[in-house]
Amino acid sequence: MEYQSPMYEMVVRQFDEAAERLRLDPNLSGRLRHPKRSLVVTLPVRMDDGRVEVFTGYRVQHDTTLGPSKGGIRYHPDVHLGEITALAMLMSWKCALMGLPFGGAKGGVRCDSKTLSRAENQRLTRRYTSEILLMIGPEVDIPAPDVATNEQTMAWMMDTYSMQKGYAVPGIVTGKPIAIGGTLGRREATGMGVAHVALQTAARHGLRPSGMRVAIQGFGNVGGTAAKYLAREGCRVIAVSNSREGIHNERGLAIETLLRHAEQEGTFKGYPEGDAITNAELLELPCEALIPAAIENQVTERNAPRLRCRLIVEGANGPTTIEADRILEDRGIRVIPDILANSGGVVVSYFEWVQDLQYYFWTEEEIVGRLKTLLSRAFEGVWTMSSEEKVTLRMAALMKGVRRIAEAMRVRGLYP
C-alpha cells in the first residue's frame, strides 16, 4: 500500500494489540486497519514571481461509522500519505474515546509554508480546498488547523467552500476566527486540555502542582498554552524549546514574560533568565512531568533509558515509539497517551461545529466547563480500564476508542 510508512506501521501495531486484547471480530479489525477513503491531489500555484509551482496535497478519511470525519490540515515539507493516514487513524480513536460523533480524518500539503508569502499561502490554501471539495462538508468531513496552519488558513478554506455554495457555510471548518463563526476558547483548548490532564495524572501520583517541575518540548500554541496554565497552577516550568532552540532555568521560567519575548523577538536569544538547551537535552532533564508537544517520534528506544521524568504527557501526536513505550513501562514512567492528553482541541472543535450548525453560541465559561467535564470523564474511564485490565494508559485509551467504533460497526451491519 502507498500509505505504508513507519508511523502508519506503528499505529497499526498499537491497534492490533488493542484488537487482540478486545478479542475483536477479525472482520471488523481487518476493516479498521485501513482508511475508508484517501485522496491525493496536485496543486499548481502561481508564485509571486509569476512562475507556477506544483505542490502535493492529501486528505484521508479513516472512518465515518460514528458520524462525519474530523481532522486537521498540516503544511510541512515532510507530509506524506503514510503519515496522514496514521494521524487519521489516531483521530478515529481519539474522537471515539471522547464520546464525540465523529470519525477520524487528516489532511496536509507537502510544502514549507514559512518560505511562502501570505499571498502564496492563500493561493495554495484556496487551490487545495477546491481540489478536496468532493470530500469535505459540514455533514461529511470537517477540517481544522494543525501544524503550520491557523485561523487565517481556516478562514480561506471556509470562504473557498462558501463561494462554491453561494452562501456562508461556517460549519465547514473549525478553528476559524470568531468573526466568521469560530468559538471562544478554541485557540487554547488543546494546551489547556494537556495541562488539565497532566494535573489529574499528577494528583493520582501524589504530586502537588506547587513546585512540580515540568519540561515542555514545543513552545507553539499547544506547548506554550500548557506552560502558561501549569505555571498559573503553581508548577515550575524549568525548560521549553521550539524547533530551533531551547531554554532552561532550574528555578523556573517566567512563562508569561518568556512568551512575550519569544513573540516579539522570534527567538529565546536575549532572554536573560535561562541557559540555552537543545531539544535532545530537554527530554533528558530531571523533572516530574515531561510534555513532548512538538512532532512525532521524539521519545525513542535510544533516549528512553535516559529519561528522568515520572510522567510523560503527550501534547503532540505520536511522540513516543512502541519500543520506547515498553522501556518506559519497565522503568515505571507513566505515559498519558496523545489521544487522551491532547484531545482538548477536537472537543472544542466539536463545540464550535455544534454552535455553527445551531447558529447559537456559548460563553467561554460554558465551553471551558464542558471541556473539563469531558476530559475528566475520559480520564477516569481510561484510568479505571488500565487498572482493571492491567494495561498501560495508552492501551486502555485505545481499547476504549476501538471498542466504541467496533460496536457501532457491528450494530450498523455490512452494506450491501
Domains and CATH numbers, the chain: 35-167 (3.40.50.10860), 188-341 (3.40.50.720)
The burial class, CB within 10 Å (0-12 / 13-18 / 19+), for 297 is middle
CA-CA distance, 51 to 53, in Å (whole number)?
7
Among the listed residues 348, 347, 290, 345, the one whose alpha carbon sits nearest the alpha carbon of residue 319: 290
In single-letter form, the type of residue at position 4 comes to Q
CA-CA distance, 218 to 334, in Å (whole number)?
20
* Inter-residue contact 216 to 291 (CB < 8 Å): yes
pLDDT in tens, the chain (416 residues): 577 788 899 899 999 999 999 999 999 999 999 999 999 999 999 999 999 999 999 999 999 999 999 999 999 999 999 999 999 999 999 999 999 999 999 999 999 999 999 999 999 999 999 999 999 999 999 999 998 999 999 999 999 999 999 999 999 999 999 999 999 998 899 999 999 999 999 999 999 998 799 999 998 889 999 999 999 999 999 999 988 889 999 999 999 999 999 888 888 888 888 899 998 999 999 999 999 998 788 899 999 999 999 999 999 988 999 999 999 999 999 999 999 999 999 999 999 999 999 999 999 999 999 999 999 999 999 999 999 999 999 999 999 999 999 999 999 998 88
* Inter-residue contact 154 to 143 (CB < 8 Å): yes
Cell numbers for 130: 477546491
CA-CA distance, 279 to 128, in Å (whole number)?
33
Dihedral sign (CA 288, 386, 189, 65): positive
The burial class, CB within 10 Å (0-12 / 13-18 / 19+), for 151 is middle
Q: Given strand 103-110, what is the order of strands in its sheet?
A: 37-46, 52-61, 103-110, 69-76, 141-145
H or E element in which residue 228 lies: helix 221-232
pLDDT at 1: 56
H or E element in which residue 232 lies: helix 221-232
Alpha helices (H) along 70-182: 81-97, 118-131, 151-165
pLDDT at 267: 86
Provide long-range contacts, Cβ within 8 A and 24+ apart, for 166-169: 169/138
CA-CA distance, 249 to 239, in Å (whole number)?
6
Is the full-model pTM beyond 0.75? yes
Positions annotated as catalytic residues are 106
